[in-house]
Chain A
Amino acid sequence: MFSNHKYIAFETIVRREIRRFTRIWLQTLVPPAITIGLYFVIFGNLVGSRIGEMGGFQYMEFIVPGLIMMAVIQNSYSNVVSSFFSHKFQHSVEELLVSPVPNYIILSGFIVGGMARGLAVGTIVTVISLFFADLEIQNLFITVTVVLLTSIVFSLAGFINALFANSFDDISIIPTFVLAPLIYLGGVFYSVELLPPFWKFISALNPIFYMVNTFRYGILGASDVDVTWAFFILCVFIVILFTSCIFLLRRGTGLRT
């Protein structure tokens, strides 16, 4: 397949993915905006006003980066897992498997689809957050880079979940029992400095902790983690997950009998 053919195939997958989540915008774009909006009202405004400061910032300012990141993580993941699994479920994935599209193009197309939804919801949440807090981005490069890399990581993770899933239950187990606890314990609502040493150590094993704090560093200019180390972890995750996805696609796991 020539490179321009590959580009057309890639663009086709991305276009199809974006068309899918925008077609069902009431299910994909509105609910996360409402949920995160409620977080701002309840935790940021009502509860936050009694908490005062966290990590040297007003509580509302402190949680805004974490909540934006939470939206990006959840939506990147759920877009890829639900889209790819529904292609499997309806057998429409066979259209792709029979066609001459290389595996890395298939994977890249779904990643960009996941990123598009993650970033779309992230942007909506950011706009909503402006009603509650004044955001002044301290480091645009770090802010944009970390959100893009995080979105790639969770799109890849969603893809692996979809490959192994055999039922709709299987695509909700990981987000409910793994992703949600990791996000809530990843320093979205609190500074790790408040934790006793043991839980501080446990938090350091949570990759989402690094992503949330690096993003917070980009926006607020303060973080609980070393930003360089956080970028290194993100890159390692991307390499491992991308390689795993390609290996699974080549083997036909969950796709070929």
Chain B
Amino acid sequence: MTLAISIQNLAKTYANGFEALKGISLEVQEGDFFALLGPNGAGKSTTIGVISTLVNKTSGSVEVFGKNVDTHVYETKLDFGVVPQEVNFSLFEKVRDIVMTQAGYYGLPRKLAEQRCEKYLRKLGLWEKRDERSRTLSGGMKRRLMIARALVHEPKLLILDEPTAGVDIELRRSMWEFLTEINNSGTTIILTTHYLEEAEQLCRNIAIIDAGKIVENTSMRKLLNELDSQVYILETTSRIPSGFDLELDNASLEIVDEHCIEVTVSGGLSINEVFALFSKADIKIDSMRNKTNRLEQLFLSKLESND
């Protein structure tokens, strides 16, 4: 399968001496939904900056769909769209003009540009705002406008730098649906985010970057399998008898109240075995959820081990 992105030994040292990237290597398959995670200042935005040519690299190479971004400047730029972290459109222009202008930069004929503009503004719920100045939009709308703008030339690769930062939960969920739809239609997506739940929900592969180095690069499934233990919160319809215990080596429990219990499962123990013991004790389970975000636990442990 073709690689959407291939980064080899990429290093970036800023003029003030700050070493943002220390020779990272990274590959993203075509069609992937890829998460690039890391704490603030880890090098995520610098990596995106180098790919999108806004940051001059110190050394290393970047290829987009097999073409080097230094030697095939214009071809590679046609293949990707970027949604930056900060708002970067003119606040004095109308919503429609911003998207149309971007279409013009990519050489789209006016009629096609108008069709695409309408298509993406409608998809992102901005069509009604098309004649308003962009400064009047809410924070969430501004982010959606940047996504519409990045998609107007229908790139094969979409790079999103914290697209849902500061966006309310409802809107975030609708953006997830939209991004999943885009990915399902064949667009490769690279996402940086601070919301680990977001990465877990959306992405198939993941890289964790910390202090300019890649500390983990694997599939989401493999990464989550690394977890030693998981804590579940079970809500029950029937009352939990006092003194109830699972009597399993790899599971412990804590009764929160009469209808709520916290179960810690480790060592590869199946949750079905836990359910079987509840059933045996005639306790009916109403609902179950993870106490903490699983990826969050792993993320923190990876960063700690890199210290």
Name A residues whose Cβ lies closer than 8 Å to a Cβ of B.
1-2, 4-6, 8-9, 11-13, 15-16, 19, 23, 86-87, 90-92, 94-102, 252, 256-257
Contacts and interface: CB of A to CB of B under 8 A. Distances in A.
Nearest to A106: B105
Given A92-B88, A95-B88, A99-B106, A257 B73 contact: no
A128 to B, nearest CB: 29
B149 interface: yes
A257 B56 CA distance: 6
Given A98-B77, A256-B53, A9 B104 contact: yes
Given A100-B73, A256-B53, A95 B149 contact: yes
Nearest to B89: A92
B82 A19 contact: no
Interface in B151-191: none
Mostly, the A contact residues are helix
24 contacts: A4-B107, A5-B106, A8-B104, A8-B107, A8-B110, A9-B106, A12-B101, A16-B101, A19-B97, A23-B92, A86-B90, A92-B90, A95-B89, A95-B102, A96-B105, A97-B53, A99-B77, A99-B106, A100-B105, A100-B106, A100-B107, A101-B105, A102-B74, A257-B56
Nearest to B75: A100
Contact of A8 (B49, B90, B109): B109
Contacts of A91: 84, 86-88
B78 A100 contact: yes
B275 interface: no
A135 to B, nearest CB: 37
Given A15-B104, A256-B56, 10 more contacts: A8-B107, A9-B106, A12-B105, A16-B101, A91-B88, A100-B77, A100-B106, A101-B105, A256-B53, A257-B54
A43 to B, nearest CB: 36
Interface in B66-100: 73-75, 77-78, 82, 84, 86-92, 97
B104 A1 contact: no
Contacts of B29: none
A100 B102 contact: no
B24 to A, nearest CB: 17
For chain B, the bracket of interface size reads 20 to 34
Contacts of B101: 12, 16, 95
Contacts, number: 83
A257 B49 contact: yes
Interface of B: 14-15, 49, 52-56, 73-75, 77-78, 82, 84, 86-92, 97, 101-102, 104-110, 149
Contacts of B97: 16, 19
Of all A-B residue pairs in the complex, the 4 with the closest CB atoms, nearest first, are: A5-B107, A12-B104, A99-B105, A91-B88
A87 B90 contact: yes
A92 B84 CA distance: 11
Nearest to B107: A5
A2 B49 contact: no
Contacts of B82: 98
Given A99-B77, A100-B78, A94 B107 contact: no
A5 B73 CA distance: 15
B105 A95 contact: yes
A212 to B, nearest CB: 34
- Among A86, A95, A98, the most chain B Cβ lie within 10 Å of the Cβ of A98
A19 B106 CA distance: 19
A237 B215 CA distance: 53
B68 to A, nearest CB: 15
A9 B91 CA distance: 21
A8 B107 CA distance: 5
Contacts of A86: 90
- Among A5, A11, A97, the most chain B Cβ lie within 10 Å of the Cβ of A5
A100 B102 CA distance: 11
A116 to B, nearest CB: 17
A2 B75 CA distance: 10
Given A92-B90, A95-B88, A252 B109 contact: no
A246 to B, nearest CB: 14
Contacts of B49: 257
A12 B87 CA distance: 21
B54 A98 contact: yes
B105 A2 contact: no
Contacts of B108: 8
A11 B104 contact: yes
A100 B54 CA distance: 13
Contacts of A97: 53-54
B223 to A, nearest CB: 31
